[in-house]
Structure 1
Amino acid sequence: MSGTWSVTLAPPPGYVAQPPPNTSQSPPIPTWEAPSFTCAAQFRVGATFVLFLFAACSNLALLVSVGRGRRLASHLRPLMLSLASADLMMTFVVMPLDAAWNVTVQWYGGNALCKLLCFLKLFAMHASAFILVVISLDRQHAILHPLDALNAHRRNRRMLLLAWSLSLLLASPQLLIFRAIRVEAVNFTQCATHGSFSHRWQETLYNMFQFAWLYVAPLLAMSCCYSRILLHIHRQHLRDRAGESPLRRSGADVIPKARMKTLRMTVVMVLSFVACWTPYYLLGIWYWFQPDMLHVTPEYVHHFLFLFGHLNTCCDPLIYGFYTPSFRADLAACCRGRSRARSAPLQGR
């Protein structure tokens, strides 16, 4: 079982270990079972490598396109740049860590790297969720208060600062609870939380707290934003139908087409977040309250749900590209520029 279930949502590979001798300062570890690099884990590593390549290329392209593009509203650029940056953190931190951890089974990175990578992992996951909330709040304000566009840039900058700061704060406990634990009796080292909690309910409470901020709170905030937007559009439509002039536009047309297109894009991004991460967190909740579920559910189910959750990192650039023709044009221009650069030296010869 992988150790990349957000916080301590599930044990890392080979976490179930034999009680080490002379460990009076920490509670005993459960009965040890020899871990191995199974066929399911091998498939997971291969699929993670494919996701890594696609997510890295697509999100870097998104970063370049948004930074150079001119069609996207100026106040939206920091939002999309932040989302791409959070996805790149997931790509370059979580995915390689998970793949390496499954290959080696135990932890070889030392105590400092154990703490740092577990912190960065949770920081990236929080940032990705919170930035989607900021995008949802921006869309809500743009639809409900269209005349207040002049303050959008400053408002979004403040919300982004809050999102990154809150992600940093909520991920900081990882630096304290995770550490490299060595079991001398079996010559096995793992990056885990063993000994950080005196009772299991404390670890469960910590997991539930992080789950609430990682998934529940962002989901409620985004649901509230888009519910208010839909209610506003519905009321606009009702007012239009009751209007005096039959030449008035429909309720949907009251909102400019460009704004509606951006709204649809962000709605699809939120739905992608929910669809990809919900099964993953449901399995995590099951594990918190019934650790024996590891022996009930097939191993490939755990691996598949992890991969499915991180598929969300690849979805954001695809969704942005589908709704933004300039992104596709930027990619085409970049490819043409590279082909010209390669052909220039040949022509000079």
Structure 2
Amino acid sequence: MAVNQTQSSLVIPDNNASVSGNPGPWTEPTFTLAAKVRVGVTCCFFLIASCSNVAVLCSISGKRCKSHLRVLILSLSVADLLVTFLVMPLDSLWNVMVQWYAGELSCKVLNFGKLFAMYSAALVLVVISLDRHWAILYPLSFTSAGQRNRIMLWTAWITSLLLASPQLFLFRLRTAPGVNFTQCATHGSFTQHWQETAYNMFTFCTLFVTPLVVMIVCYTRILWEIGKQMKHKNELARSKNDLISKARLKTLKMTLVIVASFMVCWTPYYLLGLWYWFQPEMINQTPEYLNHSLFLFGLLHTCTDPLVYGLYTPSFKEDLRSWIRRISSILSRRAKNSKQLAISELNIKDLTSMEGPTSTAVTMQSVF
């Protein structure tokens, strides 16, 4: 799968050389310029994604929107933070260190957590798509939306755990023969090449294809239903129900943009991974920066989610302005206090120089 191959440029160029029986020349990987750029950009994404998603979490902690929608956005922010705090640091450190120094247990656990974060981010988007599907097509089921969404979210998180669990058994430490180079990889965990390809295709389908198909089907039906309603405008009353419909349409636009950004950001990288699984030799034919660039483009999705939420949520904008005012107030207050303290210290020094050491004690006692 694509996540397993994020370090493909750091491992043996042909992962299946020993399986296919065509071992090629191997050179020890290095921390290249392309990898350095990847680490630098990932650090920038880390700062942006962590701050923005934490801001969204703080904002939705206030019950300003309906509970079932609040839980969905909360879960999406948590999933994005998992990607931010698990995938990004691990990817950066791995590129810097080139080989693996942390032991086999951490090799298994960290790669499990990495895939779990990727699964949770994708499946939570599926839950959001299904919620919008029911909200638009079956508006009378609104009262049961909260309970239904909680069940779907629990299913999404548990399914993510189960689907990521094979990483605990597949990843292991492998040492290149004849050299002092150890890597954390799936190399050697499959006895036949088709087994590795089958597992990669299964992960590709469950991590990307299936969520993508569900999202496309949901939003296609939604847009089709909206198109039918637009043809029968005379049946829509200008009443409170129409206002509720407009609110749902606004939420629909927000979730549609979030899902579209997921598709746009991750599709190129997964297509590259698909090409690699069936033609492993292509890793030597494609430029190194291409793999790095497409993976970074996928990580960009964790930064776009809070931005889209902020654009479509007035309460988030208000909270953001309030936080900025508070921070500015705190900084100005500290600057004022430090200025007053500096003036007091200057006065003390002046008095000391004028009146001698005896008056110094009196002055210090009056100040403190």
- Contact 1:66/1:77 (8 A) holds in 2: yes
Q: Which one is further off, 260-269 or 174-183? A: 174-183
Say which SS state the counterpart of residue 162 (structure 1) adopts.
Answer: helix
Higher relative helix content: 2
TM-score, normalised with respect to structure 1: 0.89
Q: Is 1:212 matched up with 2:205? A: yes
Return 5+ residue gaps in structure 2 as ranges.
342-368
Corresponding position of 2:265: 276
Structure 1 counterpart of 2:8: 11
Q: Pick closer, same or farther for the CA change 1:93–1:175 going to 2, 3 Å.
A: same
Of 136, 142, 145, the residue aligned with 1:143 is: 136
Q: Does 1:340 align with 2:329?
A: yes
Contact 2:13 2:283 (8 Å CA) reproduced: no
What is residue 360 of structure 2 aligned with on the other side?
none
On the 8 A contact 1:277/1:309 being kept in 2, the answer is yes
Give the 3 Å change call, closer, same or farther, for CA 17–282 of structure 1 in structure 2. Answer: closer
1:215-244 Cα offsets, whole Å, 9 max, x none, are 110011111111111121122223335x5x
Q: 1:52 aligns with which of 38, 46, 65?
A: 46
Give the partner amino acid of 1:166. T
- Does the Cα contact within 8 Å between 2:13 and 2:284 map onto a contact in 1? no
Cα shift at 1:5:
3.6
Counterpart check, 1:227 vs 2:220: yes
**Structure 1 residues 98 and 29 mapped into 2: Cα distance closer, same or farther (>3 Å)?**
farther
Q: Which residue of 2 aligns with 1:107?
A: 100
CA deviation map 1:291-324 (0-9, x unaligned): 1111111111111001001111101001101111
Alpha-carbon spacing, 1:69–1:329, altered in 2? closer, same or farther (3 Å): farther
Alignment of 1:87-236 (within 5 A): 87-183=80-176, 185-236=178-229
Task: Measure, in 2, the Cα distance between the counterparts of 1:42 and 1:83.
Answer: 30
Contact 1:11 1:192 survives alignment (8 Å)? no
Instruction: Tell me, in whole angstroms, the C-alpha distance in 2 between the residues paired with 1:149 and 1:200.
Output: 49
The answer to whether the 8 Å contact 1:10/1:287 transfers is: no
C-alpha change, 1:281 and 1:172, in structure 2 (3 Å) is same
Contact 1:79 1:135 in 2 (8 A): yes
Structure number, greater radius of gyration: 2
Could you tell me how far apart the structure 1 residues matched to 2:14 and 2:141 are? 58
Measure, in 2, the Cα distance between the counterparts of 1:60 and 1:168. Answer: 23
Preserved CA contact (<8 Å) 2:49 2:84: yes
Instruction: Note the aligned Cα RMSD (angstroms).
Output: 2.5
Identity %, equivalent residues: 54
1:315 is aligned to: 304
Cα pair 2:14 2:281 within 8 Å, conserved: no
Q: Hey, what does 1:76 align to over in structure 2? A: 69
Structure 1 counterpart of 2:49, one-letter code: A
User: Residue type matched to 1:58 in 2?
Assistant: S
> Cα deviations across residues 70-110 of structure 1 (Å, max 9, x unaligned)?
1x221111111111111111111111111111111111111
Q: CA shift at 1:181, angstroms?
A: 1.6
Q: Which runs of structure 2 are paired with 1:320-331 in the superposition (5 Å)?
A: 320-331=309-320
In 1: Cα distance, 2:95 partner to 2:7 partner: 14
Cα 1:46/1:294, change in 2 over 3 Å? same
Amino acid paired to 2:186: T
2:247 to 258, 265, 288: 258
Post-superposition shift, 1:248?
Answer: 4.9
- The answer to whether the Cα contact below 8 Å between 1:134 and 1:156 also exists between their aligned partners in 2 is yes
| TM-score between the two structures when normalised by the length of structure 2 | 0.84
